Structure 1
Amino acid sequence: MALRPVQVNIKAVDSTAVGRFWAEALGWSAYGHGATTYVGPAGGLVRPDPVALGIAVVPVPEPKTATKNRVHLDLATTSEAHQTELVARLRALGARPVDVGQGDVPWTVLADPEGNEFCVLEPRDVYRDTGPIAAVVVDCTDPQATARFWAEATDRTLHEVAGEGAALRSAQGVGPYLEFLRTPDVKTVPDRVRLDLLPYSGDDEKAEVARLRALGATDLDLGRGGGDVAGTCLADPAGHEFCVLTLP
């Protein structure tokens, strides 16, 4: 048994506008479904997409706080010229530069129109075949332990372990990476960005949730700030929120 990461869930006061931003940023399409705006490759909403990791922008009443998100997206580029062009295009769409203590680095840190941080990476060979999203990056104090939980919880396999981080990717070697980066700070506010997981067809959702609890996940009540959720919301052993969605 395993679960598939199906989408990155982003909370927003204006979910339609933020959904449009991310669709244009990634060169994808925005699909309205109820109050949620889904963002994915053109051709119609497919969940789960066989390669890409989509985005679901859900409306919430509370704006983002000044606290840096503990989950963010890294965007891939193919050349220095592409990186420069992409940063300029994103700023024209409403992104703004932010300082999260990155110092002098070759990538650019921006925030979407509601303040959710993300990075536009310099070209790196490792991300040449990921699609527009290179990685979903998770801040944590123990990357190895957190990566082990997610490797057991999902169908992603351990790709790399280093002193300050660890990375997972699909067993087929497609799509974005799921990366865990060591940071000294601890979680102080609810997550604005999280992962949503989906069981495989034929799997028992309740059994999957029980398995996650046995791995160290804890139950979570997102309350009215969690958006509409059809499924079970949990937190991993490091406190990162995620949801197991109900199969359609």
Structure 2
Amino acid sequence: MSPLLEVVAASRMAQGRAIVSDISLRLQPGEMLGLLGPNGSGKSTLLGMMAGLIRPCRGQVRLKGLPMQALRRRRIAQLLALVAQSAETAERITVRQAVELGRIPRLGPLRPWRPRDDEAVAAALKAVDMAHLAGRDWSSLSGGERQRAHIARALAQAPRILLLDEPTNHLDIHHQIAILDLIAGLSVTTVVALHDMHHALRCDRVLVMRDGRCAALGPPAQVLTPELIRDIFAVKAEIIPHPRTGRPVFDFERLC
């Protein structure tokens, strides 16, 4: 059986420079894959390719065994949702109306809005702790509130694959943990670009990128070694067990 989403030797060039080079991976059903790497390492471009928004110059991205470019956007949107880093809207709409947009791929001439759509929107708002803000004007939201609403829109879409580009940006620590707990508890396959290595430890696997290439891929406990962190991020790292839980904790020191 073909994997739900597969990247096959995919590369992307921009202005004569390789942004993503020869990346291959298969997403395992229900797994949470973290993307790590310095700024400019190609994480957002790879996510855009996986979402079908950026076409590889070489290689392919396949969804259910078919090349992404062979599928209609509506079909892609029924299977996959992307929460982009710079997602925004200039429309004068409420939070609930913004989240309702996630149901569009499920609607059609023979499939009007139904009570189940209201239920999906309500459940998505509740999942990100935004139900009490459903009637608020979008323009009145803080950056963190907008981020949570975008995630709710993606959840309302009911995808089988969820792609998130640094979803904890602009969030306070309470909502960072809440969002990551929510993502980990979803019965979907998830790819999430992250900066915080402690957050990456929640993932089943991590793909570490450098200069558009795969530097390492595997379980975080095996991949995120002091040697790799020093090589990729140019910092000295010590991994110590938490005194209460025993979970690994990173201590970083800038290299001179």
Q: Is TM (by shorter chain) over 0.5?
A: no
Higher CA-based Rg: 2
What TM-score results when the alignment is normalised by the length of structure 2? Answer: 0.30
Larger strand share, 1 or 2: 1
Larger helix share, 1 or 2: 2
What TM-score results when the alignment is normalised by the length of structure 1? Answer: 0.30
Specify which structure has the bigger relative contact order, considering alpha-carbon pairs within 8 angstroms and separated by 6 or more residues.
2
